[in-house]
Amino acid sequence: MANYPQRMFDAVADLQTLTSVEGVTNKLGHVLSSFGYNAFLVTSVPEPPLRLEPYILLNGWPKGWTEHYGKYDYYAHDPVAAWCRKAIDPFEWREAPYNEETNPKAAEVMDVARDFGMNEGYLVPIVRSTGFQACVTMAGSHPDLDPMAKRVIHVVSIMAHGRISALKGESINQKQILTAREREVLHWVSVGKTSWEISTILHLSKSTIDIMVNRAQQKLNAVTRTQAVVNALRAGEINF
Nearest-angstrom CA–CA distance, 39 and 46: 21
Distance CA 141, CA 152 (A): 19
Amino acid 72: pLDDT: 95
Q: Which helix (H) or strand (E) holds 127?
A: strand 120-127
Contact 182, 215 (CB under 8 A): yes
Per-residue pLDDT tens listing for the chain (240 residues): 478 989 988 998 899 899 999 999 999 999 999 999 999 999 999 899 889 998 999 999 999 999 999 999 999 999 999 999 999 999 999 999 999 889 999 999 999 999 999 999 999 999 876 666 899 999 999 999 999 999 999 999 999 998 888 887 654 445 568 898 998 998 898 888 899 999 999 999 999 999 999 999 988 888 888 888 888 887 778 876
Phi first, then psi: what are they for 129, rounded to 5°? -65, -20
Q: What is the sign of the dihedral through the CA atoms of 193, 196, 202 and 204?
A: positive
pLDDT of residue 132: 66
Cβ proximity of 93 and 80 under 8 Å: yes
Do 167 and 20 contact (CB within 8 A), yes or no? yes
Which domains are delineated in the chain? 4-167 (3.30.450.80), 180-234 (1.10.10.10)
What sign for the dihedral angle of Cα 14, 16, 18, 20? positive
CB 196 within 8 A of CB 188: no
pLDDT score recorded for residue 213: 92
pLDDT at 198: 92
At residue 222, the pLDDT reads: 85
84, 87, 201 from 95: Cα distances, Å: 11, 11, 36
Q: How far is CA 85 from the centre of its chain?
A: 13
| Residues 6 or more apart in contact with residue 115 via CB below 8 angstroms | none
- pLDDT value of residue 170: 55
